Amino acid sequence: MIHPTAILHPGAQIAQGVEIGPYAVIGEHVRIGRGTKVGPHTVIDGWTEIGEDNTIFHMASVGAVPQDLKYRGEETYLKIGNGNTIREFASLHLGTVTGDGETTVGDGNLFMAYSHVAHDCHVGNGVVMANAATLAGHVTVEDHAILGGLCAVLQFTRIGTHVMVGGATSVTLDVPPYTIVTGDRRESRLRGLNLIGLKRRDFPEATISGLKKAYKILALSGLKLSEAVERMKSDIPPCTEVDYFISFIESSKRGVCR
């Protein structure tokens, strides 16, 4: 159902079963998949691809041009998967040619009111961004991370899988997977493993035990980062999650929160 007051460019590709509310505006290059609902006064523009069964609430801004002064109208993309919820006044922007050329969002994410996903960000699956959580450009957020309200993530930063970012936290370094980080720009640091999140997702006790050991070595041992990594490799039995914890740290270009 498309409300008669909605404005759709003739070039937009709208699948069957899409609902578009009053006064919504859909741009020329937009593609919207089956079962997606678009609320009143929402604007979807740019080269934006939206999958199936998404719910976009009123006043959201999806596919606007990047807030990047180098952007000159190039053909860049926003690609959104299936089953996402984008609440009122949330904003998700196109990529840039100086970045990856696209901003990507996976499946089953929740973007609460006033949250912001900037150009060239990559958001995985099952992510929750609470009210006014903000990603600067080129940020990667891995699966099942939760970002508290009013938190701000610096450009080119990575948030690992199953991370919990506390409300109003300023994140300036990569956050290792499975951890909790809180604090302001000067004192943002790890506060422990995201044990509640891990248990809710039924991680085995053996895995949690290994991650506890890895966390203690990283955050509490006082070792240099390279020494901590070597200690983890030598002291902790092989485990998929611990191995990923280590590889995330080793691949960091910004440095990691500790």
Known catalytic residue: 119?
yes
Residues 198 and 178: their CA atoms lie apart, in Å, by: 7
List the catalytic residue out of 45, 68, 107, 120.
120
Active site residue 235: no
Average pLDDT over the chain, rounded to whole?
97
d(CA 109, CA 91): 14
Cα distances from 147 to residues 35, 36, 144, 164, 254, in angstroms, run 27, 25, 10, 6, 19
Distance spanning both ends of the chain, measured CA to CA: 51
pLDDT at residue number 190: 97
> In the Cβ-directed half-sphere of 245, how many Cα atoms lie within 13 Å?
32
Identify the active-site residue in 116, 119, 138, 144.
119
Q: Residue 85: beta bridge partners?
A: 55, 110
The one catalytic residue in 51, 63, 137, 197 is 137
Low-confidence stretches of the chain (pLDDT < 50) are none
Active site (annotated) includes residue 120:
yes
pLDDT of residue 184: 83
Q: Write down all domains in the chain, each with its CATH number in brackets.
A: 7-141 (2.160.10.10), 202-251 (1.20.1180.10)
Q: What is the pLDDT of residue 187?
A: 80
- pTM for this prediction: 0.98
State the residue for tokens 């990667």: 140
